[in-house]
Chains A and B, each alone.
Chain A
Amino acid sequence: MLSSNADSIFWMSRYLERSGNIARYLDVNWHMTLEASDEYDTQWEPLITTTGDIDDFASRYDEASRESAIYFLTSDEDNPNSIISCTKMLRLNAMRVRHIIPTEMWENINIFYHFIKNNVKRPKRIMNNPYDFCLEVKRYNTLIGGIAFDIMDHDEKWNFFNMGRFIERSESTTRILDVKYHVLLPSPGHVGTVLDHVQWNALLKAVDGLESFRQRYGNTSPGKVASFLLLDRLFPSSVLFCLNQAHEHLHAISNTQTWEFSNIAEKQLGQLCNSLSYCTVDDVVEQGLHEFIDDIQIRIGKLQHAITDTFFTGKPRIEKQQFWR
């Protein structure tokens, strides 16, 4: 397929996923603060840290109140990672590949975009109760993802679509874990307090993982949550799960086995999956959770460059042999 089309499908999918993730975080955070004492009302700033935009936020807003945070994350067009910005980019990328994605997919992306655009015109309504708004964002995410699975050919574009979704999700899970860990365990004295439990649950809810966690891991503990979010092989938002999926799709594109590699992107992603596959939560603790996550994030960043370079620039491909030893 055209390099530029692959690029657009990939980013279309990343922006779709990103909008859903923001809606999920926002929703969970909002619910948590409803039952909160003053102590919890400070919980809006970490949320913005999670999306990686705290500097931008701090430069333009006085403080992280519920109103300012919700506005920033949903309706602020100057924030490149707000829901409105994500849906704009989602639609723009979809527009560029409108001829190869199912009409139904385009139509729903278009309706989704207009829904968001109309809603952010009245940000007060979202600030007062973001629940319905977030619910719709999540529903469109599921709907459009479902159309991709059910209607789109499972060909190259489908592989790029999935690769985008899973890479975006893996990054997002690392961020939310990193930030929440900091907030949740400011000092060892906090472990085991009531506050703790509420927040751990919120963290799991934010990645739609509380139910699955309970069923398989039982009660929450920091180590178990870290293990679940980073290394679980079955939970669809765990970092390892996402990267393994991306790995499969990456190899489906070049039609090679996952134990070999034919380009730099395959090499990097294979190494990353391997190092996570043969890792336990004790190894993570030993290295330090923050350092561990930092390393993964850097490697995902490099992977993104490698993907761009390999597929989106339209350079002639390097032959497989050149990579063998």
Chain B
Amino acid sequence: MKGNYTFEDYQLQGFYDENIDSTNAPRRSAKLLSRMLETLTSEELVAIQNSADKSFFDLGITFTVYADEMGTEKIFPFDIIPRIIEAQEWERLERGLKQRIHALNLFIDDIYNDQKILDDGVVPRELVEGSPGFFKECMGIKPPQRVWCHITGTDLVRDSDGTFYVLEDNLRCPSGASYVLANRQILKRIFPQVFARSKVRNIEDYPSLLLEMLYEVAPERPGRPSVVLLTPGCFNSAYYEHVFLAQQMGIPLVEGTDLVVDEGYVYMRTTKGLERVDVIYRRINEDFLDPLVFNKDSLIGIPGVMDAYRKGNVTLVNAPGTGVADDKAIYAYVPRIIRYYLDEEPIIPNVPTYLCSEHKDLEYVLDNIGELVVKEVDGAGGYGMLIGPHSSKEMQDAFAQKIRENPRSFVAQPIVSLSRCPVIVEDGFEGRHVDFRPYILHGKEIKIMPGGLTRVALKKGSIVVNSSQGGGSKDTWVLGR
């Protein structure tokens, strides 16, 4: 019998902690929760953690490790201590995110139509047109409601002084929303007592907000629009999410082979013949969407779908071409983009970013590579990056060489010392680094789910939160007033 775990000797180690303040006392928002956790014996806590793991496993919220023949299934690690965001703080974040997405959407629409911002020299033309996310095939397209980035998952991080920064905008095919809902559902199932009197805001209606948004951007025609979710198939690592969202919205989950284009219209193959499709919420990368236009070898795409899209007969969500705005080099210009279109100061700041394409920045990066995080502009998933202080001299030299060969492909940022949140470890509570991804929906209006995905680097000392590299997640509570 080990007795109860307490926060008395919880180690902050100089980091900002989401739930515990600098005097080692729970923050006001986390008081109820922390007291509650301290009343449980360690056995009880471990039992709750185990039953969470079992729930995820039984529900098949897993990914497959293909190292062995049978395919071992693993759950995405989940820590049962929620991360808490206060009402006031959330409201500011919400305003900041709406502002940012509004501006980014205007930017994308401008880039593919009038290009005023380029003519005005606010963002360099070669940077935009040389971006791997820029598709000239999208020039001149005017999607319904002029919305391009319908669903965005913006990654936020908090520095040691408590300031939130935008780390990156995921404007193409952001994933993770289903985990937010599953985390909440399972926490409620196994740990209901923790919710008592906490005034946690409900996130359950995200699927209906999503569906509403999909209806809003459908091409005009009488009757209820026919909306489908397009998945690469059940071996995709995000398949659980595709299934979950399709099920919650009550829409068909289709693969490329279920759809066919005829005379500029998209149809799905049903047991009763062909049925027209109005909106495709696509969860396959744009380069695989249409073998006639993009990647010719794509087997998961639908030949002719871009033609149907161009003609306005089907809406693609998110629109192809949005990647131009989440390019890590364009990212550096987002504050200027916000000022240009909205004439406002950005509410949530960017992390300062050095563009290796600019001579002055390049020199600075090469001189200070040991202190910076260097990222490939179109890298994702925590790959293709160098974390200066955690790397060897050889790795730094090799990276410097790559940067010199192709400076446009790299940006660098100072290390943000990510905030932490308590997790349960073998003999008590310990802090682990976290980030935060809220989900922003852009239909007729911009709406945000009051919550989001808190990813946590479960390895001690690690700052990489990606699930492919030892990251887990937590339930995220946005408190009501």
Contact = CB atoms under 8 A, between A and B. Distances in A.
Interface of A: 1-6, 92, 95-96, 98-100, 103, 106-107, 110-111, 114, 117, 156, 253, 311-314, 316-317
A92 B243 CA distance: 13
Contacts, number: 66
Given A4-B258, A98-B243, A111-B58, A314 B270 contact: yes
Contact of A1 (B60, B246, B271): B271
B234 A1 contact: no
A92 B64 CA distance: 13
A96 B271 contact: no
A314 B234 CA distance: 20
Contacts of A96: 234
B33 interface: no
Interface string B457-476: 00000000000000000000
Given A1-B270, A3-B270, A110 B60 contact: yes
Given A2-B270, A317-B272, 9 more contacts: A1-B252, A1-B271, A2-B268, A2-B271, A4-B255, A98-B243, A99-B244, A99-B246, A314-B260
Contacts of B14: none
Given A92-B234, A99-B243, A3 B60 contact: no
Interface string B6-22: 00000000000000000
B239 interface: yes
Contacts of A107: 58-60
9 contacts: A1-B270, A5-B252, A5-B253, A95-B60, A95-B243, A99-B244, A106-B59, A316-B274, A317-B273
A317 to B, nearest CB: 5
A120 to B, nearest CB: 10
The 10 A-B pairs at the shortest CB distance, nearest first, are namely A314-B269, A99-B247, A99-B246, A98-B243, A110-B60, A311-B271, A316-B273, A3-B269, A99-B243, A317-B273
The dominant DSSP class at the A interface is: helix
A2 B254 CA distance: 8
A240 B66 CA distance: 45
Interface string B321-333: 0000000000000
B401 interface: no
Given A3-B258, A4-B257, A110-B60, A98 B247 contact: yes
A110 B58 contact: yes
Interface of B: 57-60, 70, 234, 239, 242-244, 246-247, 252-255, 257-258, 260, 268-274
Contacts of B273: 316-317
A6 B270 CA distance: 8
A3 B57 CA distance: 29
Contacts of A3: 258, 269-271
Contacts of B271: 1-3, 6, 156, 253, 311-312
Contacts of B253: 5, 99-100
B58 A100 contact: no
Given A106-B60, A316-B273, A2 B258 contact: yes
Contacts of B274: 314, 316
A106 B247 CA distance: 12
Contacts of B258: 2-4, 314
A151 B244 CA distance: 18
Contacts of A98: 60, 243, 247
A92 to B, nearest CB: 7
A159 to B, nearest CB: 10
A312 B242 CA distance: 22
A91 to B, nearest CB: 9
Contacts of A114: 57
A6 B477 CA distance: 40
B70 A2 contact: no
Contacts of B57: 114
A166 B95 CA distance: 58
Nearest to A157: B271
B124 to A, nearest CB: 44
Contacts of B59: 103, 106-107, 110
A253 B272 CA distance: 9
Interface-centre pick from A4, A110, A316 (highest chain B CB count, 10 A)? A4
A311 to B, nearest CB: 5
A117 B270 CA distance: 34
A312 to B, nearest CB: 8
Which of A312, A314, A316 counts the most chain B CB atoms within 10 A? A314
B254 A95 contact: no
Nearest to A312: B271
Interface centre among B57, B70, B246, B255 (most CB of A within 10 A): B70
Contacts of A312: 271
Contacts of B272: 317
Given A107-B59, A107-B60, A110-B59, A95 B234 contact: yes
A2 B234 contact: no
A4 B246 CA distance: 15
Nearest to A88: B70
Nearest to A313: B269
Nearest to A113: B60
Contacts of A1: 252, 270-271
Given A95-B234, A96-B234, A98-B243, A4 B269 contact: yes
A313 B274 CA distance: 11
Contacts of A4: 254-255, 257-258, 269
Contacts of A311: 271
Contacts of B246: 99
A48 B285 CA distance: 47
Contacts of B242: 99
Nearest to B234: A95
A95 B270 contact: no
Contacts of B234: 92, 95-96
B79 to A, nearest CB: 23
A99 B269 CA distance: 17
A258 to B, nearest CB: 18
Nearest to B245: A99
Contacts of B268: 2
A5 B246 CA distance: 13
A53 to B, nearest CB: 21
Contacts of A313: 269
A100 B247 CA distance: 6
B68 to A, nearest CB: 12
Nearest to B62: A110
Contacts of A314: 258, 260, 269-270, 274
A156 B272 CA distance: 11
B244 to A, nearest CB: 8
Contacts of A156: 271
Q: Which of B254, B271, B272, B273 has the most CB of A within 10 A?
A: B271
A4 B271 CA distance: 9
Contacts of A100: 247, 253
